[in-house]
Every structure is written in structure tokens, then in C-alpha cells.
Structure 1
Amino acid sequence: MDRVKGKVALVTGGAMGMGQAHSELLAAEGAHVFICDREIEKGEAVAQSIAAANGRAEFIRLDVTSESDWDAAIARIKQKAGRLDVLINNAGILVLKPAHETTTEEWDRVFNVNVRGVYFGTRAAVPLMKESGGGSIINISSIYGMVGAPSAGAYIASKGAVRLLTKSCAVDLAPFNIRVNSIHPGVIDTPMTKNLLHSDEATRSAILGPTLLGRPCQPKEVSQAVLFLASNESSFVHGTELLVDGGYVAN
């Protein structure tokens, strides 16, 4: 317990799925969590649930593609908590199409959330992290930021961009004691994948692909990796990618 006690964390996409799991676990381990999402009712419900369990959480309405939303979110965190120790760039969307069938609008939408959102978040958070004496930025990429797969061209390109953006930021932010790492989950059982994983067996098998453990990842299993990178236990982990994929990439 208390592995991140006293730390202040911002989680994007925190109202559901992996983001909710990250928020709940960080709060349970002592962090003051700011849940950021466009889904107001769901986000407020998560914050209330954490508070009911004696954790510290607040909801901030945030569209990760909006510079002004980011500026307002960081200003509010500075006002309420006075510092920022952990940024989890978790928000992401998926379009299931090969690149040659993806419309320009779909491509731009994926990159605006998955890449521009990470860029905006990092840029907005760094000044407050510097004031706080350092911090940990955790970017949620994917196994599809490591390997190719069918029918997800824009998503795969965006997650590959997040992987290398992470390394670039790690180089630039090391002098400020700000660690930057990416997590690469495998197939996760979340609202985004439920229609694929819980339809017919053939579809489920195809989606799991070469996952050696033969099952999808549960959101909290990714959150355990988030907790490690958010905590001082990972003080010498910097500029790397952490695979949480049940052996998908190894196979």
C-alpha cells in the first residue's frame, strides 16, 4: 500500500476502461488523482466511487485534442494540488480499417487523439512537473506500436508514433528529472474491444492472435505496470517500452 502516497496524478481517458482502472489503483495506493475525460457523468461517477473508498480523486472535463482544455486542466491541478508528479496519456481511439481504405477524416481523428493528445498533454504538463521537481510521464501505446497487424493502419501508425515520441521526450526531459516511458498492452478486455472479444469464437481467436497466455489482458493488469512506472520503484526506468501483452510479441 501507499506506493504513490503524496503524488498527484493526471489520467486521460480516466472515465472508463483502462483509464478507470489506472485511476482507481493509483488512488488506492495513495495518489491524488485527477480523472480527465470528455465523458462527464462517467468521470464524475469514478471520482465519487474513489472518494467513497477513502481515496482522493477529482474529475476534470478534458478533450485531449484541445490546447485550451489542457491549459485549463493543468491550471486547475496547480490551484487544487499545487504540483503534478504523474501524467498518464491513456486516451485513445481505434479505427478498424487498412490504411488504403481509411478516409482522411478517420486518419486525422485517430492521430488527433492518439498522438496530438499525447503531445499536448506532455507540453502542458512539463512546466508544472519542473516546478514539482520532476515526475513520470507514462504514454499508453500498444503492441501495435511494435508490430503490424491487419485492418488498423491509422491506429498502428499512431501507436508507433507514440513509442518514438516517448523516446524523444525522454532525451529532452532527463535533465529535469522527468522520466518518460511507454506501456504496450496486448489485447485488452475493455469497452473498445468488447464486441470483438465477446462475439464468436473465431473472431475472439483471431483478435487474440499469437497471445501465448491465450486470454485477453484485464485492465488492472496494465494498471499494475502504470503503478510501477508512477512509483519511485522505477526510478531508473527511462525512455523504454514496457510490454504487457501475454507474450503476443514474443510469439
Structure 2
Amino acid sequence: MRDADRPFTGRVALVTGAASGIGRAASLAFAAAGAAVLISDVDETGGIAVAAQIETGGGRALFQRADVTEEAAVAALVERIRAEFGTLDYAFNNVGFSWGHGATGLSSDDWSRTVDVCMKAPWLCMKHEVPLMRAGGGGAIVNTSSMAGVAYSPTANIAYSAAKAGVIQMTRYAANAFAADGIRVNCVSPGLTRTAAVEQFLDAEEQRELAAQTQPIGRIVDPSEIADAVMWLCSPGAAMVTGENICVSGGQQAR
């Protein structure tokens, strides 16, 4: 019987982009709920630190470096889960970044890199996660989109916005394709969130001003609040929720 305070005890979760920000918060949340967590990122130092924090707190976590835009790396990541745990219950496909600016201030390489990280990567992850989940009788996948994929965002470029919109439709497609396998697929669209990536582009005052302008609740989102949405989407409480995009954005709507 599972502890009510640790409802994911005996379960296994994979989190990509887990070395910091939203991925780190989700990794800690999965571990706090009792799941064993495989943490993946290209940032080895940060990823190892998150795994160590979980282990120090009495949880179980492993780190594996992977560039999830490369299929061989994704295949190796899922094979590590198979070898270590035998199954996969939850996957949070949480990578994204952009290069270039606006609609014309980016190169073809900027476009390709952005689309690969934001859209190709979660597709590759699902491609390899689904067979392992199917073999275990089902599971839950959450992809990270963005409010830039829902509404116009002046701080996001055209490639990032298009790719994140693509994640939403890809999630809907996958939800229908894998429903018969007992696999639910949803996505979250964070609003302006306090992450290292945001801090590269906006200082603290700019973050406050933009949040006040775009998010009616009037403040920036904390990574833990995205993690809370991910945890709910993976929980039995969301057993009839699939193909949905959950906006965690303080009320920002498509305009």
C-alpha cells in the first residue's frame, strides 16, 4: 500500500532538462512523492547536483547526460531506465531554448537548432518512452510547451513560438495515438517563469514589469508551480485527462 504522502512510491519517472529551473523542481517533486527519478540534462554539474540532493533526502535518483535532440542519446537514456528500473511510469519531456530574435533576426541555423530542441526532442523522447510504458501497462507523459505557443509573445522569436505551438498539437496527436495503450499525454504551457534562461534575457525589474503586463495575477511563475501541474497530470486525479494543454500563466490568455 502506498503512503498517502508519497503516492508515487514504487513508480519511476524520467525528467529531461532537469538540471535547473522547471525540470529541477519537477525532479524534486517526483522524488518527494516517492518515485525513483532518472535525471537528464546536458549540464552534468547541475544534473548531478539535483540527483545528489534527492539521494541525500532519502530518495532514489540517477543522472545521465543526454542531448535529447540526438536519437541515439534518447535511446540510451530509455535503455538505462529499462536496465536500472525495468519500467517507466512518468515522463516529463522538458527541454527548450531559442536562438535568434523576432521574425527575421535569426539564421537558418538558429531556426533549426530552436526547432530541434523545442519540438524534435520531445518527439524523440515519446518515440522511445512509449514502448517501455506500453510494456508496463501504461503511464503518463507531460511535454513542456509555452505560452509563446499559445499567444503572441514579444520576448519569444518566431521559431520558438512555432515549435512550442507544435508541441501542443503533437501532444494532442500522441494522446489519441496512445490512449488504447493506457498512456496519457498532456502538456504544460508556462507563463513567464523564474528560471536561469529567463534571467539571461531579463533582469529582475524587467521580469516584474513583464509579469505585471501579461499575467493578470501580477507576478512571475515559480518553477515549483509548474511542477505541481505536472504532478497532478501524472496522478490518478487526472486519470481522464489526456490531450490537454494546461496554461500555468497567472491568467494570460491567447490574444
TM bucket (normalised to shorter chain) is: over 0.9
Please name the residue that 1:232 is paired with.
236
Counterpart code for 1:155: Y
**Structure 1 residue corresponding to 2:133, chosen from 129, 132, 141:** 129
Counterpart code for 1:217: V
Please name the residue that 1:10 is paired with.
14
Please name the residue that 1:147 is paired with.
151
Give the whole-Å Cα distance in 1 for the aligned partners of 2:215 and 2:37.
32
1:187–1:208 CA contact under 8 A, matched in 2:
no
- Per-residue deviation, 1:3: 2.5
Give the whole-Å Cα distance in 2 for the aligned partners of 1:108 and 1:8.
32
Give yes or no for the alignment of 1:31 onto 2:31. no
Secondary structure of the structure 2 residue equivalent to 1:101? coil
Structure 1 segments unaligned to the other structure (5+ residues): none
Residues 84-163 of structure 1: matches in 2 within 5 Å? 84-95=88-99, 97-150=101-154, 151-163=156-168
TM-score by length of 2: 0.94
Give the whole-Å Cα distance in 1 for the aligned partners of 2:107 and 2:211.
23
Give the whole-Å Cα distance in 1 for the aligned partners of 2:115 and 2:211.
22
Give yes or no for the alignment of 1:65 onto 2:76. no
* Cα RMSD (Å): 1.5
**Structure 1 residue corresponding to 2:203, chosen from 163, 184, 198:** 198
Give the whole-Å Cα distance in 2 for the aligned partners of 1:21 and 1:77.
20
Give yes or no for the alignment of 1:217 onto 2:232. no
TM-score by length of 1: 0.95
Secondary structure of the structure 1 residue equivalent to 2:220? coil
Residues 33-48 of structure 1: matches in 2 within 5 Å? 33-48=37-52
1:137–1:179 CA contact under 8 A, matched in 2:
yes
Give the whole-Å Cα distance in 2 for the aligned partners of 1:225 and 1:3.
15
1:196–1:204 CA contact under 8 A, matched in 2:
no
Give the whole-Å Cα distance in 2 for the aligned partners of 1:208 and 1:18.
21
Aligned residues: 250
The Cα offsets for residues 139-163 of structure 1, whole Å up to 9 and x where unpaired, read as 0101111111225211111100000
Give yes or no for the alignment of 1:83 onto 2:83. no
Query: Which shifted more, 148-157 or 38-47?
Result: 148-157
Give yes or no for the alignment of 1:50 onto 2:35. no
The Cα offsets for residues 120-171 of structure 1, whole Å up to 9 and x where unpaired, read as 0000111100011000010010111111122521111110000000000011
1:196–1:207 CA contact under 8 A, matched in 2:
no
Give the whole-Å Cα distance in 2 for the aligned partners of 1:144 and 1:250.
9
- Per-residue deviation, 1:189: 0.4
Give the whole-Å Cα distance in 2 for the aligned partners of 1:125 and 1:209.
38
Secondary structure of the structure 1 residue equivalent to 2:101? coil
Give the whole-Å Cα distance in 2 for the aligned partners of 1:82 and 1:219.
29
Counterpart code for 2:253: V
Query: Which shifted more, 89-98 or 70-79?
Result: 89-98
